[in-house]
Chain A
Amino acid sequence: MSQQPPNWASEARWKKIAIWVTAGSFVLLIFLTFDTLSKTSVGGERVRAYSVINQEIDYRFNAQKNRFMPVIGKEAPLFGKVVTETEAEQLVTLGKKTVQSKNCMNCHTLLGNGAYYAPDLTKAWLDPNWIDAANRENLMLAFLKDPVGNARANASGRKMPNLGITDEEAHGIVAFLKWMSAIDTNGFPNNFKTLNAKEQP
């Protein structure tokens, strides 16, 4: 065991390789981070402006890209009122902060990340379970404020607890969910039939 190891197995050589590989990977990651953050800033094609909540949002199969993509449609203001970008940002921010403060992510997933005890919220705004688009907002507000009282039976027996969500916070959460449903998530989830698709196939 005392002879020198061959050159390819020498400690000094692997030390150099370790340093160069690590540094190289990290530099590439920094470069990609700048590119990704510029392509995902609010108001771009991937992550829409907050005022997208003034419009109809759908999620349909795009034959050209061969995957499901958000579709931004005609004007359809949330809660019947067209808001400015600043007002929309305030509303969505309140919603996002409420979603964090109420620890939603430890039952639900958002963009597929979180816990698996309750449904994914990525396309919650578009879910056919809200029965019809005209009543959706009110159903969502009522459910968020009193999920126990407005629970609909599901076969799993699970239900959402009352989290003391105020009327204002509920409006924020709905705005946040509508805005999030317009994010281009590269086709996740696949084959999702929206409420609109049910009404207008």
Chain B
Amino acid sequence: MTAVAPGARTRRGRSGPRLRRAAVGWGFALPFTALFVVFLAGPVLASLLMSFTDLRSADVRNPFAVNIVGLRNYVRLFEDELFVKAAVNTAIFVLLGVPLTMVAGLAAALGLNSGLTRLRTVFRVGYYLPVVTSIVAVAVVWRFLLQPDSGLVESLLRLVGLDGPNWLGRSDLALPSLIVMAAWRNLGYQMVIFLAGLQAIPQHLYEAARLDGASGWQQFRYVTLPSLRPTLLFVGVIATIGYLQFFEEPLVMTRGGPLNSTLSVSYHIYNQFGFGNYGYASAMSYLLFVAIVLLSILWFRLLRSSEEVSR
């Protein structure tokens, strides 16, 4: 988060008096900040405090009649066998899911941005459809598709003489299946952002590259990718956040099973909130938050130079 490159660097010493600048800046930022502070800061503070207590759902009518337990909730996490299992699953999910989705999303955006001359809208809508379809319906459809003896994936595999396994019923295949499903589902979301990002790349860069005889790949590598860095940073951070909070797929597809092989940290948190262990669940959420912050810092480090480059 240290990579906030001030856009004003180039015009240092030019602007008017400090006070005026502050007024204008905050003028633009104020409506957002006000709403934001009221509806987010308060609840966040309250939940953070909650994580240091043994608050349970049974206490909600008297939330102050609870014990302060300090860091005990946080310590307990590491003794929680299910949490450790969930943390490992989540790590696998992020490590495989984020790159897979980003590559697919970018590829789709590139293909649909300019590779097509006709039916472009149809294609774009098509690629976006999995995002808009409700997760419950998606789950129903996928479960039917993946059914071990009769699913449509199975019948496709049979066409080429293969025998498909019980995708969701086997503890070694369930998580990979969900990763593929999540990539399939989220690709369209990233495609939308990449499509918007591609529009901001200056034409003359491509023209210049072509004059220099750059191949398609070289244009992509030396023009598209560097220019896309602010977008990549956004997508990378958002994908990491989204996949660290990976939750809907196991909820509707496997309920965390079989044998907890698809239990994720967020799903575990969801369960703990459901069980009414508000204090413990909050502690878990803030540990997840720390993981998200650390990984995001990594993204900012990785793509930091971008912001200077692009300006």
The answer to whether A and B assemble together is no
Residues of B within 8 A of A (CB): none
Q: Which residues of A contact B (CB under 8 A)?
A: none
